[in-house]
Structure 1
Amino acid sequence: MKSLISVLVLALFLAAPLLAAHASKQQTTCPVLGGNVNKDVFVDYKGQRIYFCCPGCDAEFKKDPEKYLQKMKEQGVQPEKAPTAK
């Protein structure tokens, strides 16, 4: 019984960094230039709302959105869900 508990504790200890690595964080920086986001400048893409630091960045994002989404994913950033029309 003690060895079973020891194995479970060890498994939880080893899994903690993996779980933390998959935790997503809120978007605070522009995926194009890296500045602080302006909540008034955004693009809704595939059900996600992506914020930018300035109006020029949204146009740049639209040229290759998957590139910037991948960059955000690698940084652990999860975009907000875009509002849906009712």
Structure 2
Amino acid sequence: MPKLSDYVQAAATEYLQDTGSTELDVHWAAEFFQDSGVLNEYPNQNMVAFYNMVQKELTKRADRAEKEARMKLEKINWFPKPPRKPPG
């Protein structure tokens, strides 16, 4: 039986691939919850709690991507800039 965290990871990955958004759609989450087998494997699992876990994972991934992008931009700024050519 897959862990609940595996379902959360799968949902976050699939949602990002499908939509490119980090704001989880309630209807999408409910459909995934039912169709992916979470409901069958974890019949006592609350759908709202599952939604919150997936949203938290999406937010974590967005924060991580933002941090990586910021670090790369800072690296670029460290490179010396080429001298400007005088006009004319």
Query: How high is the TM-score relative to the length of structure 1?
Result: 0.28
Q: Which has the higher strand share?
A: 1
Q: Which has the higher contact order (CA 8 A, sep 6+)?
A: 2
Query: How high is the TM-score relative to the length of structure 2?
Result: 0.28
Q: Larger radius of gyration, structure 1 or 2?
A: 2
